[in-house]
Amino acid sequence: MIDSKDKFIVKFRGVRGSHPKPERNFMEYGGNSACVEVNVNNHLIILDAGTGIINCGNELLQEHIAKAHKESINATILLSHLHNDHIMGLPFFKPLHQKDSNINIVGFSAYEEGLDAVISQLVFEKSFPLGLNEINAKLSFYDINDSYALILDENDNTPDMIKIEKEEDALPQDEEVVISCLKSSSHPKDGVMIYKIAYKDKSLVYATDTEGYIGADQKLALFARNTNLLIHDAQYTTEEYLNTCAPKQGYGHSTFDMALDTYKQSKAENLAFFHFDPNYNDEFLHEIEKHYTNSCKNCIVPKEGMEIVLR
């Protein structure tokens, strides 16, 4: 694991939405589906388990072997929701199959069964050779809703779940890393969890699979107020969203312009567009990048592998 004592490092592992796109002409921005790796004060937090998580796991395992298995692999995986493009990499995340790994899985279940039972069915029992109960790692599940936050203390990889009574409860103290969330119902059918990771005076907000509103998503803008990095769904161009033959309204995704609106309202420091349509090739995304970065100097069209250090 990266030494991130006192640091906040963000790495894009998969920026593609809907499904992976392993094709020539798409490789510069990358073909893997949603996954962002965050190393913060020696905690590894992974946002979503799209296919981008697979390389992340492979690298963790290589390091683990190079260190002769002396340090266990500890990770906290935050799932925005359970659509395929956000969970399909999970069974191939190799640390799951190591006895000395401790993996926390955080998310919400919109069903009667808990998160563990739903993931067991969706990701393992019916679509993978192993059942969840045959996984070697020590797994802990956290069914979360936006009344709660998770606190990761220094040198302790087991998060404490606390009820948020007032806004200050979600502010990190001393060396704590705090994960808080906001449930959005703008993504069909069961909604999506938006996460904030905060450490000292730095934070990032991960808002994928969310659709914008007229005048920007006010709840999200408030939740992301003054954050250092807002990672926001930007699946479509406005033209495609409004296309009269095949409109994309109600699909639960935003346009680049909607992401920009929410970013401006939130007064976030930087904006990373995310969850690109699998039909947008490198040439097209180059054009998008040119257009948006010309008018907004803190806007990023991230490529797979790109790393940002929050300072």
Does residue 176 touch Zn ion according to CB under 5 A? no
Instruction: State which residue, 85 or 217, has the beta carbon closest to Zn ion.
Output: 85
Question: What strands lie across the sheet with 74-78, from one edge to the other?
Answer: 138-143, 102-107, 74-78, 43-47, 35-40, 8-14, 307-309
Selected range binding Zn ion among 75-83, 104-112, 287-295, 300-308, rule: CB under 5 A: 75-83
Q: Which residues contact 184 (CB under 8 A, 6 or more apart)?
A: 191, 192, 193, 194, 207, 210, 217, 219, 220
Tokens 């992976």, residue?
20
Contact present, 151 and 216 (Cβ < 8 Å): no
Instruction: State which residue, 93 or 276, has the beta carbon closest to Zn ion.
Output: 276
Selected range binding Zn ion among 24-32, 79-87, 114-122, 224-232, rule: CB under 5 A: 79-87
Residue type, 197: I
Rounded least distance, CB 35 to Zn ion, Å: 11
Does residue 83 touch Zn ion according to CB under 5 A? yes
Q: Which of 85, 176, 211, 304 binds Zn ion (CB under 5 A)?
A: 85
Other Cβ atoms within 10 Å of 205 Cβ, number: 25
Q: Within 255-294, which residues bind Zn ion (CB under 5 A)? A: none
Instruction: State which residue, 85 or 176, has the beta carbon closest to Zn ion.
Output: 85
CA distance to 4, 54, 118, 219, 252, per residue, from 94 (Å): 22, 7, 21, 37, 31
Q: Which residues contact 118 (CB under 8 A, 6 or more apart)?
A: 82, 109, 111
Rounded least distance, CB 167 to Zn ion, Å: 28
Rounded least distance, CB 49 to Zn ion, Å: 12
Tokens 């007064």, residue?
267
Residue 183 burial class via C-beta count within 10 angstroms: exposed 0-12, middle 13-18, buried 19 and up: middle
Contact string (CB under 5 A) for Zn ion, positions 143-172, x = contact: ------------------------------
Selected range binding Zn ion among 194-202, 203-211, 219-227, 237-245, rule: CB under 5 A: 203-211
Q: Within 205-234, which residues bind Zn ion (CB under 5 A)? A: 209
Selected range binding Zn ion among 56-64, 80-88, 195-203, 276-284, rule: CB under 5 A: 80-88
Nearest-CB residue for Zn ion: 83
Selected range binding Zn ion among 7-15, 56-64, 201-209, 277-285, rule: CB under 5 A: 201-209
Strands 177-184 and 148-152: antiparallel
The number of angstroms, rounded, from the C-alpha of 85 to the middle of its chain's C-alpha atoms is 12
Binding-site size for Zn ion (CB under 5 A) equals 4
Contact present, 228 and 268 (Cβ < 8 Å): yes
Q: Which residues contact 171 (CB under 8 A, 6 or more apart)?
A: 178, 198
Contact string (CB under 5 A) for Zn ion, positions 2-31, x = contact: ---------------x--------------
Instruction: State which residue, 35 or 60, has the beta carbon closest to Zn ion.
Output: 35
Rounded least distance, CB 192 to Zn ion, Å: 7
Residues in touch with Zn ion (CB under 5 A): 17, 83, 85, 209
